[in-house]
Chains A and B, each alone.
Chain A
Amino acid sequence: MPKNIIEKIWHHHVIMQKKNHPAVLAIDKMLIHEVTSAQAFDELRRRALSVRYPTRVIATLDHSISTTKNRTVMTDEQAKIQIETLRKNTQAFGIKLYDFDSKHQGIVHVIGPELGFTQPGETIVCGDSHTSTHGAFGALAFGIGTSEIAHVLATGAILQYEPKTMKVIFKGAPAKNITSKDIVMKLIATIGVGGAKGYAIEYTGDIISSMSMEARMTICNMSIECGARAGLIAPDNTTFDYLKERFYAPKNADWERMILSWKQMISDPGCHYDKTVEIDINNLKSMVTWGINPEQAISIDELIPAFENAKEAYSYTRLNAGQPIRNIPIDWAFIGSCTNGRIEDLRLAAAILKGKKIASHVQMYVVPGSEQVMYQAMQEGLDKVFESAGAEFRMPGCSMCLAMNDDKVPPGARCISTSNRNFIGRQGPGSITHLASPATVAASAIKGKICSVEEI
Chain B
Amino acid sequence: MKPFQQLTSQAIPLNMDNVDTDMIIPAQFLTQVTCDGYGQHLFQRLREQHTDFVFNSPKYQFSAILIAKENFGCGSSREHAVWALTQAGIKAIIAQSYSDIFYNNAIKNGVLLISLTPPIIAKMIKNAIDQNFILTIDLEKQTVTTSEDELFTFDFDPFRKTCFLKGQDDLDYLLEVTS
* Residues of chain A lying within 8 A (CB to CB) of residue B48: 429
**Cβ contacts A to B, 5 pairs, < 8 Å:** A39-B35, A49-B175, A193-B71, A229-B100, A424-B45
Given A227-B100, A425-B45, A155 and B178 touching (CB < 8 A)? yes
Stretch in B19-27, B60-68, B130-138, B146-154 with 4+ CB within 8 Å of A? B19-27
What per-residue 1/0 map shows which CB atoms of A42-66 lie under 8 Å from chain B? 1100010100000000000001100
Which 10 residue pairs spanning A and B have beta carbons closest together? A145-B79, A194-B71, A145-B105, A143-B77, A38-B33, A147-B108, A78-B31, A129-B77, A423-B22, A146-B79
A46 to chain B, nearest CB (A): 10
User: A229-B101, A423-B20 given. 7 additional CB < 8 A pairs?
Assistant: A39-B33, A64-B30, A129-B77, A193-B74, A316-B49, A404-B28, A424-B49
Contact B79 A147 (CB under 8 A): yes
Give the B interface residue count (CB, 8 A): 46
* Residues of chain A lying within 8 A (CB to CB) of residue B82: 145
Contact B158 A39 (CB under 8 A): no
What per-residue 1/0 map shows which CB atoms of B44-76 lie under 8 Å from chain A? 011011000000000000000000001100111
Q: Which positions in B face A, CB cutoff 8 Å? A: 16-18, 20, 22-23, 26-28, 30-35, 45-46, 48-49, 70-71, 74-79, 82, 97, 99-101, 104-105, 108-109, 157-159, 170-171, 173-175, 177-178
Residue A121 is within 8 A (CB to CB) of chain B in the complex: no
Measured CA separation A78–B174 after assembly (Å): 33
Given A78-B32, A312-B16, A197 and B99 touching (CB < 8 A)? yes
Contact A147 B105 (CB under 8 A): yes
Residue A82 is within 8 A (CB to CB) of chain B in the complex: yes
Contact A429 B79 (CB under 8 A): no
Most buried by B among A63, A128, A424: A424
Contact B33 A82 (CB under 8 A): yes
Contact B171 A150 (CB under 8 A): yes
Contact A21 B159 (CB under 8 A): yes
Q: Which residue of B lies closest to A49 (CB)?
A: B175
Contact of B22 among A158, A198, A224, A421 (CB under 8 A): A421
Residue A265 is within 8 A (CB to CB) of chain B in the complex: no
What per-residue 1/0 map shows which CB atoms of A20-45 lie under 8 Å from chain B? 11101000000000011011001100
B44 to chain A, nearest CB (A): 9
* Residues of chain B lying within 8 A (CB to CB) of residue A224: 75
* Residues of chain A lying within 8 A (CB to CB) of residue B49: 316, 424
Residue A85 is within 8 A (CB to CB) of chain B in the complex: yes
Measured CA separation A248–B113 after assembly (Å): 40
* Residues of chain B lying within 8 A (CB to CB) of residue A156: 178
A430 to chain B, nearest CB (A): 8
Contact A36 B77 (CB under 8 A): yes
